[in-house]
Amino acid sequence: MYTPGPAFFQWPMVSAYTPGVGLVTEAVVPSAPASVMPESANRAIYHPIVIVTTYVARRVWWVNGESATGGATIEVGIYRDAGGAPGVKVISGSAVQSSATTVQFVNVTDTALTPDRYWLAIMASSGTDTTLFRSASSIIVDAAMRYQQDSANPLPGTATPVESTANGIYLFGFATTASP
C-alpha cells in the first residue's frame, strides 16, 4: 500500500517572516513595520530561510517605504547555505525603486530551490531612500538570524559576510508566481 508523504503548503511570496520557511516570529520581532533608510549604502543584509519542499523562484520583491524618489537601486538575491552562513549566489534581480509604499517585483529566471537552508539578501545603493523594516529583540538576533556585508553593490557571486550586531529585519523575498 502506498502512503503519501507530508503535503507542504507553497506560499506565493516567501520572506524571513513566512511561517514554516522563515525563522522570524512575533516573539523575535515585537514591533510593527516601519519605513526606514538603509543602515548603509551598498551593504548587503542576509536573512536565513529553510525550504522543506521544492519552490520555484520567479520574481524577487521588496516593500518600498515612504521615500522612494532618490533613485536608489535595490537588489534582492538568494544564496546557498555554506555551513551556517551565506555562500554562493543562486539568483538575484534589481531595479530602481519606483512608487513609495508599494511592493516592488523584479522578474528573474525561474529557478528551482530544493529543500535546504538558503539566505535571502537585500542591498540598497543609496542610504536615503526607504524600505519597510521591523526591529527585532537585540537579545534574540545573532548570526543565526542575520549577516551583513559592506561594499556589496552589486550583490557578490559568493558572499563574504560578517556577523551583524544590528537588529533590523527587512521585508523582502521571492515570489513563486509570475504575476500578482
Pairing label, strands 116-124, 73-81 = antiparallel
Do the domain assignments include residue 17? no
Burial grade of 62 (CB within 10 A; 0-12, 13-18, 19 or more): buried
Do the domain assignments include residue 8? no
| Helix, strand or coil, per DSSP, at residue 113 | strand
- Residue 39 makes CB contacts below 8 A (sequence gap 6+) with 45, 127, 148, 166, 168
Do the domain assignments include residue 19? no
Confidence of residue 26 (pLDDT cuts 50, 70, 90): low
CB neighbour burial string for 132-169, b if at least 16 within 10 angstroms, e if fewer: bbbbbeeeebeeebbbbbeebbebbeebebeebeebbb
Q: How far apart are CA 128 and CA 145, in angstroms?
A: 25
How many domains does the structure of the chain reveal? 1
Do the domain assignments include residue 154? yes
Range of the domain at 87: 30-175
pLDDT value of residue 10: 87
CATH number (domain holding residue 56):
2.60.120
Q: How far apart are CA 125 and CA 73, in angstroms?
A: 5
Do the domain assignments include residue 44? yes
Do the domain assignments include residue 149? yes
pLDDT at 127 > cutoff 90: no
Q: pLDDT of 77-126, one tens digit each?
A: 999 999 999 999 999 999 999 888 899 999 999 999 999 999 999 999 98
Q: pLDDT of 30-85, one tens digit each?
A: 677 888 888 899 999 999 999 999 999 999 999 998 887 778 999 999 999 999 99
pLDDT value of residue 169: 85
